[in-house]
Amino acid sequence: MSADNRIGKQTLIFNSRPQILSSYAIVGDIEGQGPLAQYFDAIIKDDTLGEKSWEKAESKMLELSVDGALQKADIKKEDVQCMFAGDLLNQIISASYAARELKIPYLGLYGACSTMSESLLMGSILLDGGFASSAVCVTSSHFSTAERQFRAPLEQGSPNTPTSQRTVTGSGCLVLGYESKARTIINVTHATIGKVVDMGIKDASNMGAAMAPAACDTIITHMQDMGRTPNDYDLIVTGDLGQLGAVLLAELCLSRNVDLKGKHYDCGCAIFAPEQNTKSGGSGCGCSAVTLAGYLLKQMVMGTYHRILFMSTGALMSPSATQQGESIPGIAHAIVLERGEGA
């Protein structure tokens, strides 16, 4: 059997055009004071959500975003055929414990902050292959769980470097399916599977620099595979490169004759305002997830954007590996979203 639904080296075509039936974004207090506040479905004032630990709170947040998205799509939990989920925590406990409560067939992913586009890619494969009529794609991150796992306990009060980013507290969920009843439909038309790229960055507070080369590699490959240029997109979205990483990405792409000028949107740069003093911007799986589930999809429905390339970016960093002298590998998977007319 030939790979009929593949184009070029790394790009997949979804001929059935899976639809985004609904999305839900829940965020923390700081994110709820940022420029995208009005686009989120829920803002939590207490980042413990009344749970005994931040880890339990993050898992609860992920569960709430699935519940919220399914309610909007008018689909019962027991009718969902698969959930693709992952998060930043060791053993992806936010996703796994939420999957236990939700009782939905579950495939766990780890792609660091690239997880939102990884889950959409897998969900679209599942649907387009005729293996399911609906799938949940979800991820989360939490400032306080990420700090203590990847950097230093918050109680230590370590200062941040200028290149550091603030992990977004939030969870974004999209429900994929068919037969949306909405007047405007957002379809997933293509995806590009990323490769791991590592340019030798070893600073866990400079993730933008670690991820930019992977984002560049995926963009270049996608454009070559599709025979497109950035002009074919209204927006080229990256997950959480931050201020520094965004500049690097533009330079890297330009050096390979791809000009992102006027097209690039980084969720990490957008989610916090400069006066919120988050240094290089936002990060975490939740960053691109809530920006997509909240802001970007609403803008597509409103007609601001017709076709976007959505690409969550992951720094596959590990405290153990870093302590053993390893550099931080990056990865980015891309998804093409298109606006169309509904039934």
Q: Is 223 in the site for a copy of itself (CB under 8 A)?
A: no
Binding residue (CB under 8 A) for a copy of itself from 73, 188, 331, 332: 331
Q: Write out the binding residues for a copy of itself, residues 86-125 only, by CB under 8 A.
A: 86, 89-93, 96-97, 99-100, 103-112, 118, 121-122, 125
Q: Please, which residue, 22 or 187, has the CB nearer to a copy of itself?
A: 187
Binding residue (CB under 8 A) for a copy of itself from 194, 230, 286, 294: 194
β-sheet bridge partners, residue 138: 85, 173
Q: Please, which residue, 259 or 326, has the CB nearer to a copy of itself?
A: 326
Binding residue (CB under 8 A) for a copy of itself from 66, 120, 126, 188: 126
Minimum CB separation from a copy of itself for residue 231, in Å? 25
> Number of residues in contact with a copy of itself, rule: CB under 8 A?
68
Minimum CB separation from a copy of itself for residue 82, in Å? 6
Minimum CB separation from a copy of itself for residue 172, in Å? 19
Q: Is 198 in the site for a copy of itself (CB under 8 A)?
A: yes
Binding mask 298-327 for a copy of itself (x = CB under 8 A): ------------------xxxxxx--xxx-
Q: Which of 36, 179, 72 is nearest to 64 (CA)?
A: 72
Contact indicator for 191, 334 with CB cutoff of 8 Å:
yes
Q: Is 193 in the site for a copy of itself (CB under 8 A)?
A: yes
As a whole number of angstroms, the distance between CA 140 and CA 62 comes to 6
As a whole number of angstroms, the distance between CA 93 and CA 85 comes to 10
Q: Please, which residue, 28 or 194, has the CB nearer to a copy of itself?
A: 194
Q: Is 8 in the site for a copy of itself (CB under 8 A)?
A: no
Determine the straight-line distance between the first and last CA of the chain, rounded to whole angstroms: 34
Q: Is 313 left (phi over 0), alpha (psi -120 to 50) or beta?
A: beta
Query: Looking only at Cα atoms, what is the longest distance across the chain?
Result: 57
Q: Is 224 in the site for a copy of itself (CB under 8 A)?
A: no
Q: Write out the binding residues for a copy of itself, residues 29-58 only, by CB under 8 A.
A: 52-53, 55-56
Contact indicator for 57, 142 with CB cutoff of 8 Å:
yes
As a whole number of angstroms, the distance between CA 132 and CA 123 comes to 9
Q: Is 220 in the site for a copy of itself (CB under 8 A)?
A: no
- Please give the structure tokens belonging to residue 71: 């309610």
Amino acid at 168: V
Contact indicator for 327, 209 with CB cutoff of 8 Å:
no
As a whole number of angstroms, the distance between CA 156 and CA 186 comes to 45
Q: What is the DSSP string of 226-246?
A: HT--GGG-SEEEESS-HHHHH
For the CA atoms of the chain, what is the radius of gyration?
18
Q: Which residues bind a copy of itself (CB under 8 A)?
A: 1-6, 9-10, 12, 16, 52-53, 55-56, 81-82, 86, 89-93, 96-97, 99-100, 103-112, 118, 121-122, 125-133, 149, 178, 193-198, 316-321, 324-326, 329, 331, 333
